[in-house]
Structure 1
Amino acid sequence: MPESAYGPTNNCIGIGNELLKRGHRVVFAAESSWRGKLAALGFEEALVDFAPPADEPEDAGAGDFWKEYIKAISPEFRKSTLEQAETVIRPIWEGAIDGAKYCEPELRRIIAEVNPDVIIEDNVVAFPALVTAGKPFVRMVSCNPLEVTGPGIAPAYSGLGRDDESAWEEYRAEYERTHKDLWEDFNAWVQEQGAPALPRLEFIHSGVHNIYVYPEELDYTDSRPLGEDWTRVDSAVRETESAVELPPHFLDGTKPLVYFSLGSLGGADVELMQRTVDILGTAGEYNFIVSKGPLHEEITLAENMWGAEFLPQTRIIPLVDLVITHGGNNTTTEALHFGKPMILLPLFWDQYDNAQRVHESGYGRRLDTYTCTPEELLGTISDLLGDTELLARCRAAGERIRAVDGLSAAATALENVAAFH
C-alpha cells in the first residue's frame, strides 16, 4: 500500500516488479486514482478511496490531490522550515490522517479477500487494518530516513545539518507545539481500531521488518545506527521506462547536458518553474532537459531546452552531466545511482533534509529555492561541472550503488519476512 504520490508508488512498483519476476503475486491497495496504471504493469489492483468519490472530479488522475494541494499551498514554501511546521507539515499530516480514517473499513475488507502473506506499507501514517490483520507487516520508508527518529541526528523536515545541533531543539519544540494535539487524537483513534499505540509524536508503526531507500553515501547510520530489523536499499531504480527521443544535438557532446525537475508536485508552482527556466535559458553554453510537470502548457522553454509534461527520468539521468532537483527522495537516490552531481532547490517535507544531506556529504550544492540569484545558480552549475574530484566521487558512488542491486535486496528481505514470520 503506497502513498498516493509518484515517489512512493514508483518505489513500490520497482520492488513489486522484482517480486513478480520471482513468481510472487503482488496486489496494490493504492488510492483509486491509480486505476488501470498498475494493472498495466502486471499487478493486481484492489484500490481504495481516501475521500468520498463525489468529492473528486470525474477526470481526476493519479496524484491529482497533491497537484491541487501544491497549487493552493505553494506560497507557504517560501517560509522557513520552522514556520512550515505549522503551515505545511501539519496540514499534510491532517490530510493523510483523514484518508487513513476514511479507508479503514474498505481496507479491512480488501485484506480479508486477498489474504496476503505479507503486508507492505510505503506511507507516512498508520492504517490500523494493516497491523491488525494477523499478517507480517513491513514498513517501507521512501522518504529521507530522518523519519526514523533517534539520537544524534537532526529532526525530520527541518533541513538542519549535522553542524546545526544548537537549532535542533528549537525545531523539535515547535514541532511538538504544532503537532501534539493532532498526534494524541490520531493515536487514540488508532488504538480504538485495535492497533498498538504509536510512538510519541510519530504517526506510523514499525514492522516486523522495515525497509528504507537511501544510499550508504548519504545515510545517517554513523550517527544513528539501526537494528537488524532494518534493511537499507541503496536505490530502487526501475529501469523499465520507455526510451526517450532527445534532439540529436543534445547528445553530440558539444555542450554539457543538464536535467531540471522540481518533481510532479513542485512543477505545479508555475511561477517558480518559469523563473528558474528563464535563468537557465540565459546559459547558452549548456543544454537543458526540463520536466515541465502537470501545468506544462503554462511553462515556456528557451532555445537551449527540450522538455515535456512527464519524462522517463531513469532513462534521462544517465545521459546528463548534472541534475537540478527539488530533492525528492526518488530523484535524489536516482541521481546518485547514476553517479550525477546535484543542485538542490527544496520546497517542503523531506526535500530540505535531502538537500542538506547531499550538500554536507559533498555530492552537490543546496541553494535557496526562491531567492538564489542567476549568478548563484549559473555559477554553481559551472563550479560543479568543473570539479573533477566531485565528478569522480559521484561516478564511484554510482558504480557501487548499481552493483549492489537494491531492488533485489528489497525483494529478498520481503521473501525472508514471508518465510520466517
Structure 2
Amino acid sequence: MGIGDVLRRRGHRVVFAAEASWKGRLAPLGFEEELVNLAPPPEQPQDAGQFWKDFIRDTAPEFRKPTIEQLGTWVKPVWEELVSGARYCEAQLKEIIDRVRPDVIVEDNVVCFPALTTAGVPFVRIVSCNPLEMKGERVPPPFSGYPAGDRSGWDEFRAEYDRTHRALWSDFSSWVTEQGARPLPDLEFIHEGDLNLYTYPESADYTDARPLGPTWHRLDSSVRETEEKFTLPPGLADGGALIYFSLGSLGSADVDLMRTVIASLARTPHRYIVSKGPLHDEIELPPNMWGTEFLPQTRILPLVDLVITHGGNNTITEALHFGKPMIVLPLFWDQYDNAQRMAELGYGVRLDPYRFTDTQLHGAIGRLLSDMTLRRTLAEAGETIRARDGLRTAADLTERAATA
C-alpha cells in the first residue's frame, strides 16, 4: 500500500486485486478495489484476512516443534492452501486483467498466479519475507531459523524440504504450464519477475554470501506513510522504559500465548503498548500496559525504547527503519529466520515463545535497554535506512518497468 500510494500521488491509476475479505479497506485510501475469492465465499462476511487468522489459531500447536519437523505438518499445509487459492482464482484474475488492462502488474505474494505472468505486460515481484526466500548454497535454508555461521544442519533441512514438498511442487508447476505460463524453477512456487524488489535493510542482508542478479533491487524499508496520529495515553506518561509488544494480527490469535507474555511483562517496572489483535476482547491488560485491536505501528515505533515482536518481516524492517532493538519470539514461516538474523547480528535477542522464562525475558529486556553502543548503532542504521527512501525507490523502478 505504501508503494501504491506513492504511485497514486504521482497521478497513476492503482488497482488492488485483493482477497475478498478486504472489501472496503482499500477504496478509502484512494485505490480501486477488485475483489478476489481464493475459495468458495463463506456464508457470513469475514474480517480482512480472517481465514489465515483462523488457520494460525487452529494450527498453533505445530509451532512448538523444531522447524525441520514443521516442514511436513505446517509449512506444506500452508503451501497447499496457497496453491489451492491460486488455482481457484485464476479465472477471476484473468477477468480483472481484461477489464483493467494494466501497464504493469505487481505481485506481493509467495505463490504464482499464472494470469499475472501471462498478461503480456511487465511483471514485478515483491518479496516481503526474509530474503532467504531467494535461496543460495552459502546461506541457511528458508524457514529453518538456522545460523548463518553453522552449516551442520543445512543439508538435512533441504533434503527434508525436498521430500515433503516435491510432489506438491511438481503438480503445481504442471498446472502453471497448462495455464500458459513457463514452468516453475525447481522447488520454487513462484517465478522471478522482469523486475524483482525485496524489503530488507542492507545492514542485515545476506548479499555477500548470496549475490543477486541485475533484475533484483533491495528496498531497505517500505514504511507506509500515514496521516493517522498517535498520542501516548496519560497512564503511560511516566515510569520505566516504553516498550511495544506485538505478535501481529495472526500471532495474536493465540490468546494463551498473548496472556503468557503479558503476565511476564507485568512483572517488570516498564510501560508497554500492546497490539491486542483480532481477539482483543479476550485479552486483559495490567496497569502498566495499554493497547487495542489495531494500532498505528509506524507512529508508535519512534516513541519506544524496545520492540518485542513475533519477527514478521514488516515489524522487523520497520523496527530497523526507526533504529530500535528487538526481542523476537518467532512463531512460523520466515519469523525464525528473522529472529536468528537479529540475534546473530546483535540487533536483538531470540527467545522461544513457548519455553522462555521470566529470567530470560526480563534479562533480555535489561540487556538491550542498557546497551548504549547497540542503541547508537541502530540509531545510525535507522538514519541510513530512512534516507534511502524505499517507497520512492520502488515507485521509480515500477514506473520504469511499465515503460520499458
> 2:199, 2:220 within 8 Å by CA — same for their partners in 1?
yes
* Per-residue deviation, 1:166: 1.2
Question: Unpaired segments of 5 or more residues in structure 1?
Answer: 1-12
1:19 maps to what in 2?
7
Structure 1 residue corresponding to 2:390, chosen from 406, 414, 421: 406
Partner of 2:120, secondary structure, is coil
The answer to whether the aligner puts 1:303 opposite 2:287 as a matched pair is yes
> Which string of whole-angstrom CA distances, capped at 9 and with x for unpartnered residues, describes residues 281-302 of structure 1?
011x200111011111111211
Aligned to 1:313: 297
Question: Any idea what SS the aligned residue of 1:30 has?
Answer: strand
Amino acid at match of 2:215: D
1:173 Cα deviation (Å)? 0.6
Kindly state the Cα deviation for residue 245 of structure 1 after the two structures are TM-superposed: 3.2
Residue of 11, 20, 29 corresponding to 1:32: 20
1:330 equivalent in alignment to 2:314:
yes
Deviations 1:263-295 (A, max 9, x none): 000000011100000000011x20011101111
Q: Which runs of 4+ in 1 moved over 4 A?
A: none
Give the secondary structure class of the aligned counterpart of 1:174. Answer: helix
Please give the residue correspondences for 1:232-271 in structure 2 after superposition, counting only pairs within 5 Å.
232-240=218-226, 242-252=228-238, 254-271=239-256
Give the drift of 1:57. Answer: 4.1
Alpha-carbon contact 1:215-1:401 (below 8 Å) kept: yes
Q: CA deviation at 1:46?
A: 1.2
Among 367, 384, 392, the residue aligned to 2:351: 367
State which drifts further: 237-246 or 337-346.
237-246
Q: Secondary structure at the match of 2:308?
A: strand
Tell me if the contact between 2:176 and 2:182 (Cα under 8 Å) persists in the aligned partners. yes
Q: Could you tell me whether the CA contact under 8 Å between 1:241 and 1:312 is conserved in 2?
A: no
Structure 1 Cα separation of the partners of residues 237 and 318 of structure 2:
20
* Contact preservation (8 Å) 2:236, 2:289: no
Q: Does 1:181 align with 2:194?
A: no
8 Å CA contact retained: 2:322, 2:379: yes
The CA distance in 1 between the partners of 2:68 and 2:242, in whole Å, is 35
What amino acid is the match of 1:101? R
Give aligned-pair identity as a percent: 61
> What value does the CA root-mean-square deviation take over the aligned residues?
0.9
Q: Is 1:48–2:33 an aligned residue pair? A: no
C-alpha distance in structure 1 between counterparts of 2:266 and 2:132, whole Å: 35
1:168 corresponds, among 154, 167, 171, to 154
Alignment of 1:65-84 (within 5 A): 65-84=51-70
Q: Secondary structure at the match of 1:125?
A: coil
Whether the 8 Å CA contact 1:268–1:294 is kept in 2: the answer is yes
Q: Any idea what the Cα deviations from partners look like across 1:63-109, whole Å, max 9, x if unmatched?
A: 10111101110011111100111111001100000000000011001
Measured after TM superposition, the shift of residue 247 of structure 1 is: 1.9
Give TM-score scaled by structure 1 length.
0.95
Is residue 21–residue 45 contact of structure 2 (8 Å, CA) maintained in 1?
A: no
Give the deviation of 1:242 after TM superposition: 1.5
In the alignment, the residues of structure 1 paired with residue 215 and residue 21 of structure 2 have an alpha-carbon distance, to the nearest angstrom, of: 33
Indicate yes or no: 2:135 matched with 1:149. Answer: yes
Counterpart Cα distance in 1 of 2:45 and 2:81: 21
Equivalent position of 2:197 in the other structure? 211
- Confirm or deny: 8 A CA contact 1:85 1:178 kept in the other structure: yes
The alignment partner of 2:153 has SS state of helix
Distance in 2 (alpha carbons) for counterparts of 1:366 and 1:299: 24
Contact 2:219–2:393 (Cα < 8 Å) also in 1: yes
Say which of 277, 283, 292 aligns to 1:293: 277
Q: Is the 8 A contact 1:158 1:353 kept in 2?
A: yes
Aligned-partner SS, 1:227: coil
Is 1:87–2:87 an aligned residue pair? no
In 1, Cα distance between the equivalents of 2:183 and 2:274? 45
Distance 2:193 2:132 in 1: 17
What amino acid sits opposite 2:122 in the alignment?
A: P
Structure 2 equivalent of residue 221 of structure 1: 207
In structure 2, distance between residues paired with 1:191 and 1:205: 12
Aligned to 1:281: 266
Query: 1:394-419: per-residue Cα shift (whole Å, max 9, x none)?
Result: 10111111111110000011011012
**Within 5 A, what are the aligned runs for 1:81-120?**
81-120=67-106
Secondary structure of 2:35's aligned partner: coil
The answer to whether the aligner puts 1:390 opposite 2:378 as a matched pair is: no
**In 1, Cα distance between equivalents of 2:227 and 2:47:** 19
Count of residues in Structure 1 that have an aligned counterpart in Structure 2: 404
Whole-Å separation in 2 of the counterparts to 1:227 and 1:210: 10
TM-score (norm 2): 0.99
Aligned position for 2:50: 64
Letter in 1 for 2:371: D
